[in-house]
C-alpha cells in the first residue's frame, strides 16, 4: 500500500457513488465546485448494481415470458417458449447494468470529477482519509456530502449465507429455484417473489402484518393478492418466521400463523424485511460529533446539513423513505445549498412505485391520510376495465384513484394499481406540485385511446359528471 502523507486541499468531498452521491457530485460540479467522490464498490450504488435496475430487468423478462406463453389475444399463441436463465442474467448485467454504469463514469469524466475507489474515514470535521488495498490519501475539505446508503436487514434466526439470501443474492442466482420462501411481503418481497413465480418457482410468502404491502390501502393490495393467487403463490399474513434448518439440498422454515406452528421447505429463503442505514461502520460520523437519531439515521436540517455545519447527509441514511429518486433529489438540493443557493427539501411530492403485476404507484395523500388531516375529501375512482387502451393491451385489472379537497378542488393525492402505473403517476405528481384542481385535470385534453385518459376520467368521477362509467 502506498501512503501519501501530504494533505490535499479540496472543495467538496462526496462519500458514496450511489443514486444520491453521484447526482450530488454532478450538480456541484455544474455549479463550479471541484469535487472528489469516493465509492468503495461500484458506481451507481445499490440501486444500479443490486437493487432497482437489475430487479426491474428481471421483472421485465419474467413479464415478457408470461405474455409470450399467453398473450391474452384470441388467435395469438406461442409454442415451446424456452427460458435460458443464464442468458437472461447475462443480458441483465451486460446490456442494462453495465451500460448504465459506463454512462455514469462518462458523466464523471465530463464534469471533471475525481473518482477514488475505496473507503473513507473521518479524521476530523475538515479532514478524511480515503484508502484501498493499493494506496491511502488524505483530503482536507471545505464541505462534505455523506451518501453511504443502506444494506438489507439481517434477522438473527436467518443469517445470510448458504440457502438464505438477501435481495442481492436473489438477483444473481444462476438458475431458477423450483421452490422459494420469501420472508417479508413488502415491495421487495412481492416484486421478487412474483418475478420468480412467473418463471415457474413455487413461491411462499410470509408476511408478519395482516396484509401484504403494508402502507397501501386494501383496495390496492387486494388486486395484487388476486394476481398472486393466479400464479399459485401461497401467502401467509400475520406469520412469524422462527427458524430455519438447511441441508445440502434444501431449507425448511418453521413459522407460526394464529398460534399454529407450520413448516415449509424450499430451495432458498429470501429475506426482505427492510434496510438498515450504513452509519454504524468505520466512517466515523459519531467520532466527529455528527448527531445520529433513531434507527441509525443522521439528523439533518432542510438543506441536508448535519449537526456539523459543513457536513451534509442524503439518501437512505437520513429520515424518509429509502428511495433512489428521493436520494437523487436530495443530492441536487444539497449541492445547491453548498454553493449558496436557497434550495431546501420539499417532500410534498415523492412518488412510491411497486413493480408488481399489476404495478402500484402512489403520490401525495391517500384517502385515509387526507381525512386524518381534517380535509373534507372528494374521491374519484376509474377502472382500467373501462379504458379502451387498457382493453387493447389485455390489461384491464386495476384502477386510478384521485383524492382531492372538496372545498378547494385541489388534488391531494393519487393511487394507481394497473399496467404502467409507474409511467402514469408523474402526471398526478405534477398536478399536486403545481396546485392543480380536479377541474383542471378533467378539462385537460388527453389523447385517445391512451392510458393517460384514466386520470382525467377519475377527476370527472370526483366532480360528479363521469362520462364512461
Q: How many folded domains does the chain comprise? A: 3
Q: How far apart are CA 308 and CA 333, in angstroms?
A: 18
Residues 322 and 370 in one domain: no
Residues 294 and 147 in one domain: yes
Give one DSSP letter per residue of 258-288, joined into a string.
TTEEEEEEESEEEE-S-EEES-SSTT-TTTT
- For the whole model, what pTM was predicted? 0.95
72 is in an annotated binding site: no
189 is in an annotated binding site: yes
196 is in an annotated binding site: no
pLDDT, tens digit (0-9, with 9 covering 90-100), for 247-276: 999 999 999 999 999 999 999 999 999 999
Quick one: DSSP state of residue 63?
A: H
Residues 124 and 17 in one domain: yes
What integer pLDDT is reported at residue 6 of this predicted model? 76
- Among 258, 273, 288, the domain-final residue is 273
190 is in an annotated binding site: yes
What integer pLDDT is reported at residue 257 of this predicted model? 96
- Among 308, 338, 368, the domain-final residue is 338
Quick check: is 350 in a domain? no
Considering 227, 325, 446, 448, which one is annotated as catalytic? 448
Residues 238 and 387 in one domain: no
The mean pLDDT of the chain is 96
Residues 264 and 284 in one domain: no
Contacts with 445 (C-beta within 8 Å, 6 or more apart), sequence order:
none
Residue 294 confidence class, pLDDT cut points 50, 70, 90: confident
Show the DSSP H helices in 126-186 as ranges. Answer: 167-170
Residues 111 and 51 in one domain: yes
187 is in an annotated binding site: yes
Q: Are 422 and 361 in contact (CB under 8 A)?
A: yes
Domain that holds residue 259: 164-273
Quick check: is 353 in a domain? no
Quick check: is 347 in a domain? no
Q: How far apart are CA 236 and CA 462, in angstroms?
A: 36
Q: Are 429 and 382 in contact (CB under 8 A)?
A: no
What integer pLDDT is reported at residue 3 of this predicted model? 63
452 is in an annotated binding site: no
Quick check: is 26 in a domain? yes
316 is in an annotated binding site: yes
Q: Catalytic site residue 448?
A: yes
Residues 400 and 423 in one domain: yes
Quick check: is 146 in a domain? yes
Quick check: is 453 in a domain? yes
Name the burial class of residue 72, with classes exposed (0-12), middle (13-18) and buried (19+) by CB atoms within 10 angstroms of its CB: exposed
Residues 260 and 280 in one domain: no
What integer pLDDT is reported at residue 5 of this predicted model? 61
Residues 381 and 444 in one domain: yes
Q: Are 403 and 377 in contact (CB under 8 A)?
A: yes
* Per-residue pLDDT at 387 exceeds 70: yes
CB atoms within 10 A of CB 161: 11
Residues 22 and 123 in one domain: yes
* Per-residue pLDDT at 449 exceeds 70: yes
What is the CATH number for 408? 3.30.390.30
Residues 400 and 429 in one domain: yes
51 is in an annotated binding site: no
| Chain centroid to CA 82 | 30
pLDDT, tens digit (0-9, with 9 covering 90-100), for 186-241: 999 999 999 999 999 999 999 999 999 999 999 999 999 999 999 999 999 999 99
What integer pLDDT is reported at residue 355 of this predicted model? 98
Q: Are 4 and 119 in contact (CB under 8 A)?
A: no
124-148 burial by CB neighbour count: b if 16+ within 10 A, else e? ebbbbbbbeeeebbbbebebbbbbb
Residues 388 and 244 in one domain: no
Strands 164-165 and 179-183: unpaired
What is the CATH number for 200? 3.50.50.60
Quick check: is 224 in a domain? yes
Q: Are 292 and 312 in contact (CB under 8 A)?
A: no
123 is in an annotated binding site: no
pLDDT, tens digit (0-9, with 9 covering 90-100), for 398-446: 999 999 999 999 999 999 999 999 999 999 999 999 999 999 999 999 9
Strands 251-257 and 260-266: antiparallel
- Among 304, 338, 372, the domain-final residue is 338
Quick check: is 469 in a domain? no
The stretch 40-69 carries a mean pLDDT of 97
Amino acid at each position: 500500500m502506498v501512503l501519501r502523507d501530504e494533505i490535499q486541499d479540496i472543495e467538496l468531498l462526496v462519500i458514496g457513488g450511489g443514486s444520491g452521491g453521484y447526482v450530488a457530485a454532478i450538480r456541484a460540479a455544474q455549479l463550479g465546485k471541484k469535487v472528489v467522490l469516493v465509492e468503495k464498490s461500484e458506481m451507481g450504488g445499490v440501486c444500479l448494481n443490486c437493487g432497482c435496475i437489475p430487479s426491474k430487468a428481471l421483472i421485465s423478462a419474467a413479464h415478457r415470458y408470461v405474455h409470450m406463453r399467453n398473450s391474452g389475444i384470441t388467435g395469438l399463441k406461442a409454442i415451446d417458449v424456452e427460458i435460458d436463465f443464464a442468458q437472461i442474467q447475462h443480458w441483465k448485467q451486460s446490456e442494462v447494468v453495465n451500460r448504465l454504469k459506463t454512462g455514469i463514469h462518462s458523466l464523471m469524466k465530463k464534469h471533471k470529477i475525481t473518482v477514488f475507489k475505496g473507503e473513507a474515514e473521518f479524521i476530523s470535521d475538515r479532514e478524511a482519509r480515503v484508502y484501498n488495498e493499493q494506496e491511502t490519501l488524505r483530503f482536507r475539505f471545505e464541505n462534505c456530502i455523506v451518501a453511504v446508503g443502506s444494506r438489507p436487514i439481517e434477522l438473527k434466526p436467518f443469517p445470510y449465507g448458504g440457502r438464505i439470501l438477501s435481495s442481492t443474492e436473489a438477483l444473481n442466482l444462476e438458475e431458477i429455484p423450483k421452490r422459494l420462501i420469501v420472508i417479508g411481503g413488502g415491495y421487495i418481497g412481492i416484486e421478487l417473489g412474483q418475478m420468480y413465480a412467473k418463471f415457474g418457482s413455487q413461491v411462499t410468502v410470509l408476511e408478519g402484518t395482516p396484509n401484504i404491502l403494508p402502507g397501501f390501502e386494501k383496495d390496492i393490495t387486494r388486486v395484487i393478492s388476486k394476481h398472486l393467487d393466479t400464479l399459485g403463490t401461497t401467502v401467509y399474513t400475520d406469520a412469524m418466521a422462527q427458524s430455519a434448518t438447511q441441508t445440502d439440498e434444501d431449507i425448511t422454515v418453521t413459522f407460526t400463523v394464529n398460534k399454529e406452528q407450520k413448516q415449509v421447505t424450499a430451495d432458498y429463503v429470501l429475506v426482505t424485511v427492510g434496510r438498515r442505514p450504513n452509519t454504524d461502520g468505520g466512517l466515523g460520523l459519531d467520532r466527529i460529533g455528527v448527531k445520529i437519531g433513531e434507527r441509525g439515521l443522521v439528523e439533518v436540517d432542510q438543506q441536508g446539513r448535519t449537526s456539523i455545519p459543513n457536513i451534509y447527509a442524503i439518501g437512505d441514511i437520513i429520515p424518509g423513505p429509502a428511495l433512489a429518486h428521493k436520494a437523487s433529489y436530495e443530492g441536487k438540493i444539497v449541492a445547491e445549498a453548498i454553493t449558496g443557493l436557497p434550495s431546501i427539501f420539499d417532500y410534498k411530492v415523492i412518488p412510491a412505485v411497486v413493480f408488481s403485476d399489476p404495478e402500484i404507484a402512489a403520490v401525495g395523500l391517500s384517502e385515509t391520510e387526507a381525512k386524518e388531516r381534517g380535509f373534507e375529501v372528494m374521491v374519484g375512482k376509474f377502472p382500467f376495465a373501462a379504458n379502451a387502451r387498457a382493453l387493447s393491451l389485455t390489461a384491464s385489472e386495476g384502477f386510478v384513484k384521485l383524492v382531492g379537497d372538496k372545498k378547494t378542488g385541489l388534488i391531494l393525492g393519487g393511487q394507481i394499481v394497473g399496467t404502467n402505473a409507474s409511467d402514469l403517476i408523474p402526471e398526478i405528481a405534477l398536478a399536486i406540485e403545481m396546485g392543480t384542481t380536479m377541474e383542471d385535470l378533467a378539462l385537460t385534453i388527453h389523447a385517445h385511446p391512451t392510458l393517460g385518459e384514466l386520470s382525467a376520467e377519475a377527476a370527472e368521477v370526483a366532480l360528479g359528471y363521469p362520462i364512461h362509467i
